[in-house]
Amino acid sequence: MKILVVGGGGREHALIWKIAQSPLVKQIYCAPGNPGIAELAECVHIGADEIAALCDFAKAEAIDLTVIGPEVPLTLGIVDIFQAAGLDVFGPNKAAAQIEGSKGFSKDLMARYNIPTAAYRSFTDHAAAVAYIKEQGAPIVVKADGLAAGKGVIVAMSETQAMAAVDDIMLDKVFGTAGASVVIEEFMDGEEASFFAFTDGKNILPLASSQDHKRVNDNDEGPNTGGMGAYSPAPVVTPELHDLIVETIVRPTIAGMAEDGCPYSGILYVGLMIKDGQPRVVEYNARFGDPEAQPLLMRMKSDIVPVLQACARGDLSHTSIQWHDKAAVCVVMASGGYPAAFEKNLPIAGLDAAAQVQDLMVFHAGTAFKGGQIVNNSGRVLGVTGLGQNVKEAIDKAYSGVAMIQWKDVHYRHDIGARALNR
């Protein structure tokens, strides 16, 4: 098979690393890719959002399966274009990708099908949004309705902070068109977890549990980011809770999407808040989480390619997944200053040494090749992922890799996986 993976981050590097292990695959392309991905696949200089050019490339190269990594091409309708050209493609179509592309769409879906989540209201009028905040009080959560690269959610601990968030989103347009409307939600406390399931629009195949660390600093302090690290399995998701999530959230979501005329195929990410053994939905994503994909794919024992192909072809009923009975931990190494402004093109040292360590993978998320060396090119730069017999071993393995790698002003959290140890 010839496979094309669309994207150029840590999630796509992890997907390609896993796909490359399949005996079914003879050639992998990635558009646009990155220096880490280039060691496993042929990188193609086409942007992830250049969907017509990507389709032309897939036709010209007779690609057997295209796997869409990031959310933007999904919400632009890349799957619809590929399917119209008769090409197998993994991911939801444009209508189904609204589950991530619009917070209002996803909240309305949950309300229709009694899927447990926070109480909410959607607003296109600034004054009405401010009035609602004053009526509800704080803490309260303010979300830009559209895509904001994981940064459009403000957990406001005071009414003043919440109203400032509405100003930023609706008046100052800090997230651009994503802030044309806002969703304001009840604050949920508890422990977060990430739950993923493959689906063909009817059948579902859940993955192992995982947990992300959204805040930029240790002890879950500082602003939200795209994710500073993740681990799998997540002890908070007990076998009983796993079944409850499938029956009360995942199945009703997939059935509801089909009922609404936009069947969902691909991988569904459900961000959860768990309190007193009860899960509620924080958000949906229409693709693999990043960085959750890194530890999950390190733990996946079986070949991923038949599963991806079954989702794309609409028949997942004959597939299954086996998992390594190990834990995996991913520590994100970020540019100093992220998620605010940061310096780019700083040379990264230690990658070769880390590459020699057994059960350790350094997934490239935001790197570039410049002047004969690998440099930082984005906020989140590397996902250093270790495998171990248990979470403690996996944490030690990941941080042993982190200790080998350095560049000016590098930033990372020192407590990834601590919640799992505390359990």
Taken in order of first residue, the domains within the chain and their CATH numbers are 2-94 (3.40.50.20), 119-186 (3.30.1490.20), 194-313 (3.30.470.20), 327-422 (3.90.600.10)
Q: For the whole model, what pTM was predicted? A: 0.93
Supply φ then ψ for residue 62, to 5 degrees.
50, 55
Supply φ then ψ for residue 16, to 5 degrees.
-65, -40
Q: Give me 411's structure tokens.
A: 């930033």
> What is the mean pLDDT for each group of 10 consecutive residues in the chain (423 residues)?
98 98 98 98 98 98 98 97 98 97 93 96 93 94 84 89 93 88 93 95 96 94 91 94 97 98 97 95 95 97 98 95 97 96 97 97 97 96 98 97 98 95 81
Could you give the residue ranges of the DSSP H alpha helices within 204-292? 239-245, 251-259
Which pairing describes strands 27-32 and 2-7: parallel, antiparallel, or unpaired? parallel
Listed residue (6, 140, 162) closest to 76, CA to CA:
6
Q: Give me 103's structure tokens.
A: 């917070």
The pLDDT of residue 12: 98
The pLDDT of residue 150: 67
* Residues forming a β-bridge with 384: 331, 362
Listed residue (423, 416, 420, 393) closest to 234, CA to CA:
420
The pLDDT of residue 71: 95
Do residues 194 and 208 lie in contact, with contact meaning Cβ atoms separated by under 8 Å? no
What is the spatial distance between Cα 325 and Cα 389, in angstroms, rounded to a whole number? 7
273-278, long-range: CB < 8 A, 24+ apart:
273/118, 273/188, 273/189, 273/190, 273/191, 273/192, 274/190, 274/191, 274/192, 274/193, 274/236, 274/237, 274/241, 275/188, 275/189, 275/190, 275/191, 276/190, 277/240, 277/241, 277/244, 278/116, 278/244
The pLDDT of residue 205: 97
The pLDDT of residue 317: 93
The pLDDT of residue 197: 98
What is the spatial distance between Cα 296 and Cα 372, in angstroms, rounded to a whole number? 32
Give just the sign of the alpha carbon dihedral 250, 124, 171, 130. negative
Give just the sign of the alpha carbon dihedral 417, 382, 78, 89. negative
CA 95 to chain centre: 19
What is the spatial distance between Cα 313 and Cα 131, in angstroms, rounded to a whole number? 48
Could you give the residue ranges of the DSSP H alpha helices within 167-220? none
Give just the sign of the alpha carbon dihedral 74, 284, 249, 246. positive
